[in-house]
């Protein structure tokens, strides 16, 4: 009997019709204020009920002394109460027909204290008896722009189809922030902490059938229900790309995971096998997770492993060829159609230029690496491409900004026109010239806004394309 | 008989008393102008002679029609002439007692053209007959702030002890720019292109005995003289840290290297063995090269492999523990002296907090991860440390900028006070919030200016420390 014979009913968790915040606070430097402000900022469509015994309002919204005094039905309660007050809150939720209780509240089993673990079990039992489902405890909870939910007031308002499940809250914030900066638009995000009741497996199974969700990422330290996790994972991976970052792989990592989310972490090799069998992609760190999510969200699947590489100088070309071949690609020499085009414009280069296309060879010839990239993408010889911007070159020239922006815009047009995957490499974030930093930020933001994936190094671009090429 | 029985005499290559630029140009968008402007910008102490048949001056300096008409002795000539004019220039150099001829000029053997390769050989023979040493061809040449040399007008004026040899010019620019942004201060840098005469082996042998040079990095595609390279490398690595980034490891990379600098690249495993035997560190890409150069330049050698890790939330702690253990470190549990300190300030945390120190557990306790780091570094239980700034947390709080700057300054003080190596992790360059970007840039620049190494991810920090711990 499968753990989830039908799609789990989590719609009201991610898209509640009404929300109450227990422990809502007038102190702007507290989570009890953050949640009210964050949900308000996201433009939540239904009523938001701050619960506070003494305040009249929190973050400009009318506050209520308790759940019982709220004038309408509440689908989701968010708890910022101390641990000792949660059992009572769970009972109130049961009495008032609340569907989901998210416990931001921590200091339960993750502390290693037996009394705290026992209280956690009592809360679970009390909620289960009345059909109240629990997210957490010890988790930031929900970020879902289309549903008007957020766990921090500063998170983006942009809506999209990237789902992300995270056992860790700070990791969720990092992934949302960095992903958004690179053009990822998030849908359903849940930081589930200790995973006491609603598990990542159940959420994966739900996301498998969720129409809004196109790509799924997850950060997992350990799973309470191995079989349920595998079933949810396999169901999701059968329908859409799923990328899993499994942490707590080492002894030290597992020990740290236990004190973080009370997770029982496991051996690295076993996890790699399980992920492969389930059809999911494995990320070994946050950088790989983001790179794979970006590639899966923005690029079509490559038809094969013949790669075109352009841009940057000779050193970059050599390093790009190494990275591509080491990621399982064939760096196919220039086909005649491209070489003949070079011959008509710059005969002296026709027998010299190769793949990778060394931009520095082309200087002054009237040819550009963007133009050759366009020809190469049109050729059946290539399945996909990597384009190095080589921004350092521009910074040594007059009118660096204008030239860089022009070249990047032209490159973006080539990417947009092609039905084949193209990864852009733009890496000089490490400069202490403020003007150059701003220029790089500008062109990178433009690529992100146009849905073109940018990688900070050719090695990361090649690795990502290699994993996604299947 | 060793290739270099005595220290090679390259002082006047890196620190010439006078420089002439053949092919100096009044066109500000040309290399012939760049070299004059770049050397002038660096405050070169001796005379600079632009050579130009028709112009009276270049970049504000008096120009001369030819080398013969220059009023003084010339130690170094830089050629921006086309390839066909270089044989004549080499003969003039011989006739006028020039010591070094740097050929920025390219389009020789790297084009694959037999005639061009033949011309290259004739130039080598002509120069050798008169004792003129050649750097290049097909290389940007010299950047040496203390000697007043640079190959681009926009490179930093800061002087230091980091030497860098690069077969590729754009790679040299990238390494200087990125290294400088992270606080590396460069000394002798040479981009030697095809390496026709002065080889990387000879320069390594020279740098081994060079008092200015404290750390050596090199980017190599292939070497013309394997034995000389090994001898120079071993001599240098016996005296100071040497990091080699060998590119052209793959078939595609080697093919690209041949058309870039006519280099014969070789098998990856062979190179790894050679580098290890010579006592050098191997970098597989530019990121690793920079990380290792930074660590070698800024950190003392660790006495052992017991590591302290602090900062960031629970997810970051788990990921840090994984990275440290996978890089060969032991994540030693908190010793009693640290745990007792926690007990006096926050008894309820004393049995919960661990190594890595999860900053989120400490919130509101009056303890900070910086304070615990200081205690851990004072304890004999730890040989070195990684400190996560965890900047994403600050961005969710009021007064984020002030708090972040205060915490980073405190962390820098702890680093400065300790005689043990500490790597700082500050990674959220990927945010599209301009205010946050500027804040991260500010604190990163401050760490760099104070000589504290910053890594963009905990994995890169751990990997670097692991390689350097020996």
* pLDDT score of B78: 98
Residues A177, B428: Cα–Cα separation, whole Å? 8
Integer angstrom CA distances of residue A242 from A127, A190, A295, B12, B318: 31, 15, 12, 59, 22
Q: Which of A35, A156, A170 to mutate to test the interface with B (most CBs of B within 10 A)?
A: A170
**Of A360, A429, A432, which has the smallest distance from its Cβ to B170's Cβ?**
A360
Contact B287 A459 (CB under 8 A): yes
- State whether CATH 3.40.50.11930 applies to domain B156-298: no
Residues A451, A470: Cα–Cα separation, whole Å? 22
Q: What percent of chain B has pLDDT over 90?
A: 84
Residues of B in contact with A111 (CB under 8 A): 352
Residues A167, B318: Cα–Cα separation, whole Å? 11
pLDDT over threshold 90, residue B41: yes
Residue of A nearest to B431 (CA): A181
CATH topology match: A11-296 vs A300-468: yes
Contact A430 B247 (CB under 8 A): no
Integer angstrom CA distances of residue A356 from A324, B140, B174, B248: 10, 21, 19, 12
* pLDDT score of A456: 93
In the three-class reduction of DSSP (H, G, I as helix; E, B as strand; rest coil), residue B60 is classed as: coil
**Of B28, B315, B398, which has the smallest distance from its Cβ to A28's Cβ?**
B398
In the three-class reduction of DSSP (H, G, I as helix; E, B as strand; rest coil), residue A361 is classed as: helix
Please report which confidence band the pLDDT of residue B333 belongs to, taking 50, 70 and 90 as the band edges: very high
Residue of A nearest to B151 (CA): A396
Tell me how close the Cα of B148 comes to any Cα of chain A, in angstroms: 18
pLDDT over threshold 60, residue B264: no
Tell me how close the Cα of A79 comes to any Cα of chain B, in angstroms: 18
Please report which confidence band the pLDDT of residue A431 belongs to, taking 50, 70 and 90 as the band edges: confident
Tell me how close the Cα of B322 comes to any Cα of chain A, in angstroms: 5
For residues B32-41, average pLDDT: 97
For residues B219-245, average pLDDT: 94
Integer angstrom CA distances of residue B115 from A40, B118, B120: 73, 5, 9
Average pLDDT of chain B?
94
**Of B248, B430, B437, which has the smallest distance from its Cβ to A178's Cβ?**
B430
Q: Ranked by mean pLDDT, which of A203-212, A337-346, B363-372, B434-443 comes out on top? A: A203-212
pLDDT over threshold 70, residue A139: yes
Segments making up each domain of chain A, as ranges? 11-296, 300-468
* pLDDT score of A268: 78
* pLDDT score of A156: 95
Contact A318 B459 (CB under 8 A): no
Residues A320, B336: Cα–Cα separation, whole Å? 50
CB A24 within 8 A of CB A32: yes
Q: What percent of chain A has pLDDT over 70?
A: 98
Residue of B nearest to A392 (CA): B174
* pLDDT score of A420: 98
CATH number for the B11-139 domain, one of 3.90.1150.10, 3.20.20.140, 3.40.50.720, 1.20.1290.10?
3.40.50.720
Q: Identify which has the larger pLDDT, A64 or B313.
A: A64
Q: Which of B82, B164, B170 to mutate to test the interface with A (most CBs of A within 10 A)?
A: B170
Residues A2, A8: Cα–Cα separation, whole Å? 12
Contact B316 A171 (CB under 8 A): yes
* pLDDT score of A333: 95
Contact A154 B111 (CB under 8 A): no
For residues B25-30, average pLDDT: 95
Residues of A in contact with B428 (CB under 8 A): 174, 177-178
CB B18 within 8 A of CB B75: yes
Please report which confidence band the pLDDT of residue A401 belongs to, taking 50, 70 and 90 as the band edges: very high
Residues A382, A330: Cα–Cα separation, whole Å? 9
Question: Residues for chain B: how many in total?
Answer: 470
Residues B115, B398: Cα–Cα separation, whole Å? 69
Please report which confidence band the pLDDT of residue A162 belongs to, taking 50, 70 and 90 as the band edges: very high
pLDDT over threshold 90, residue B255: no
Tell me how close the Cα of B5 comes to any Cα of chain A, in angstroms: 32
CB B199 within 8 A of CB B225: yes
* pLDDT score of A292: 98
Residues B405-436 pLDDT 10s: 999 999 999 999 999 999 999 975 678 888 99
Residues A75-122 pLDDT 10s: 999 999 999 999 999 999 999 999 999 999 999 998 889 999 999 999
Tell me how close the Cα of B77 comes to any Cα of chain A, in angstroms: 22
Tell me how close the Cα of B366 comes to any Cα of chain A, in angstroms: 16
pLDDT over threshold 70, residue B8: yes
For residues B302-309, average pLDDT: 97
Tell me how close the Cα of B162 comes to any Cα of chain A, in angstroms: 17
Q: Identify which has the larger pLDDT, B262 or A25.
A: A25
* pLDDT score of A352: 87
Residues of A in contact with B320 (CB under 8 A): 256
Tell me how close the Cα of B338 comes to any Cα of chain A, in angstroms: 17
Contact A260 B286 (CB under 8 A): no
CB B282 within 8 A of CB B246: yes
**Of A28, A259, A321, which has the smallest distance from its Cβ to B253's Cβ?**
A321
Tokens standing for A344?
A: 């008509």
Tell me how close the Cα of B395 comes to any Cα of chain A, in angstroms: 8
Contact B169 A315 (CB under 8 A): yes
Please report which confidence band the pLDDT of residue A265 belongs to, taking 50, 70 and 90 as the band edges: low
Tokens standing for B242?
A: 């040497």
Please report which confidence band the pLDDT of residue A429 belongs to, taking 50, 70 and 90 as the band edges: low
What was the ipTM of the complex prediction?
0.92
Q: Identify which has the larger pLDDT, B384 or B436.
A: B384
Q: Which of B80, B222, B251, B319 to mutate to test the interface with A (most CBs of A within 10 A)?
A: B319
**Of B29, B180, B457, which has the smallest distance from its Cβ to A285's Cβ?**
B457
For residues B291-311, average pLDDT: 97
Tell me how close the Cα of B132 comes to any Cα of chain A, in angstroms: 27
Residues A244, A262: Cα–Cα separation, whole Å? 19
Residues A118, A373: Cα–Cα separation, whole Å? 63
Tell me how close the Cα of B69 comes to any Cα of chain A, in angstroms: 31
For residues B82-101, average pLDDT: 97
Prior bond to A137 cis, omega within 30? yes
**Of A111, A181, A430, which has the smallest distance from its Cβ to B432's Cβ?**
A181
**Of B153, B252, B437, which has the smallest distance from its Cβ to A441's Cβ?**
B437
Residues of B in contact with A27 (CB under 8 A): none
pLDDT over threshold 80, residue A261: no
Lowest-confidence segment of A337-351, B322-336, B368-382 by average pLDDT: A337-351
Q: Residue B244: which of B207, B196, B298, B194 has the closest Cα? A: B207
pLDDT over threshold 70, residue B111: yes
* pLDDT score of A112: 87
pLDDT over threshold 90, residue B287: yes
* pLDDT score of A449: 97
pLDDT over threshold 60, residue B31: yes
**Of A260, A356, A392, which has the smallest distance from its Cβ to B318's Cβ?**
A260
Please report which confidence band the pLDDT of residue A266 belongs to, taking 50, 70 and 90 as the band edges: low
pLDDT over threshold 90, residue B348: no
pLDDT over threshold 80, residue A267: no
Residues B181-204 pLDDT 10s: 999 999 999 999 999 999 999 999
Residues of A in contact with B286 (CB under 8 A): 319, 457
Size of interface A-B (CB pairs under 8 A): 250
Residues A169-215 pLDDT 10s: 999 999 999 999 999 999 999 999 999 999 999 999 999 999 999 99
Contact B315 A171 (CB under 8 A): yes
Residue of B nearest to A435 (CA): B438
Residues B247, B279: Cα–Cα separation, whole Å? 19
pLDDT over threshold 90, residue B206: yes
Fold of A11-296: Rossmann fold (3.40.50)
Lowest-confidence segment of A49-58, A137-146, A261-270, B296-305 by average pLDDT: A261-270
**Of B221, B358, B432, which has the smallest distance from its Cβ to A260's Cβ?**
B358
Residues A281-336 pLDDT 10s: 999 999 999 999 999 999 999 999 999 999 998 999 999 999 999 999 999 999 99
- Dihedral, B181, A447, A323, B264 alpha carbons, nearest 10: -70
Contact B256 A180 (CB under 8 A): no
Integer angstrom CA distances of residue A341 from A56, A371, A376: 74, 10, 11
Cβ neighbourhood burial of A279 (10 Å; 0-12, 13-18, 19+): middle
* pLDDT score of A130: 97
**Of A29, A253, A326, which has the smallest distance from its Cβ to B325's Cβ?**
A253
Residues of A in contact with B305 (CB under 8 A): none
Contact A315 B182 (CB under 8 A): no
CATH number for the B300-468 domain, one of 3.20.20.70, 3.40.50.1360, 3.40.50.261, 3.20.20.140?
3.40.50.261
For residues B4-12, average pLDDT: 95
Average pLDDT of chain A?
94
């Amino acid at each position: 009997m499968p753990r989830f014979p039908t799609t789990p009913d989590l719609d009201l968790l991610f898209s509640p019709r009404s929300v109450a915040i227990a422990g809502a606070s007038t102190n702007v430097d507290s989570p009890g204020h953050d949640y009210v402000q964050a949900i308000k900022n996201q433009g939540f469509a239904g009523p938001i009920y701050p619960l506070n015994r003494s305040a009249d309002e929190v973050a400009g919204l009318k506050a209520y002394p308790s759940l019982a005094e709220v004038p309408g039905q509440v689908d989701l309660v968010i708890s910022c109460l101390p641990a000792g007050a949660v059992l009572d809150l769970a009972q109130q939720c049961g009495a008032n027909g609340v569907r989901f209780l998210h416990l931001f509240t921590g200091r339960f089993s993750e502390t290693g204290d037996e009394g705290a673990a026992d209280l956690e079990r009592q809360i679970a039992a009390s909620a289960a008896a009345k059909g109240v489902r629990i997210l957490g405890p010890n988790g930031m909870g929900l970020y879902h722009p289309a549903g008007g939910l957020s766990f921090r007031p500063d998170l983006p308002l942009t809506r999209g189809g990237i789902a992300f499940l995270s056992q860790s809250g700070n990791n969720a914030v990092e992934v949302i922030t960095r992903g958004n900066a690179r053009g990822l638009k998030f849908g359903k995000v849940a930081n589930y902490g200790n995973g006491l009741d609603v598990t990542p497996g159940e959420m994966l199974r739900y996301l498998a059938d969720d129409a809004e969700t196109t790509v799924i990422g997850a950060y997992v330290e350990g799973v309470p229900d191995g079989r349920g996790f595998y079933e949810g994972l396999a169901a999701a991976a059968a329908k859409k790309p799923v990328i899993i970052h499994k942490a707590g792989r080492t002894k030290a990592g597992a020990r740290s995971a236990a004190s973080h989310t009370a997770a029982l972490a496991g051996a690295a090799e076993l996890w790699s096998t399980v992920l492969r069998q389930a059809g999911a992609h494995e990320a070994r760190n946050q950088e790989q997770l983001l790179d794979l999510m970006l590639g899966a969200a923005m690029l079509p699947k490559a038809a094969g492993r013949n790669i075109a590489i352009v841009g940057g100088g000779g050193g970059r070309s050599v390093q790009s060829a190494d990275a591509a071949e080491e990621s399982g690609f064939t760096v196919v020499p220039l086909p005649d159609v491209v070489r003949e085009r070079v011959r008509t414009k710059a005969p002296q280069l026709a027998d010299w230029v190769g793949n990778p296309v060394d931009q520095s060879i082309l200087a002054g010839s009237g040819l550009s690496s963007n133009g050759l990239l366009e020809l190469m993408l049109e050729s059946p010889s290539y399945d996909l491409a990597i384009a190095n911007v080589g921004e350092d070159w521009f910074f040594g020239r007059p009118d660096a900004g204008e030239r860089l922006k022009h070249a990047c815009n032209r490159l973006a047009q080539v990417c947009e026109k092609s039905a084949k995957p193209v990864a852009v490499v733009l890496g000089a974030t490490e400069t202490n010239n403020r003007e150059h930093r701003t220029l790089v930020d500008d062109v990178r933001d433009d690529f992100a806004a146009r849905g073109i994936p940018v990688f900070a190094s050719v090695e990361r671009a090649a690795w990502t394309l290699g994993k996604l090429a299947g």
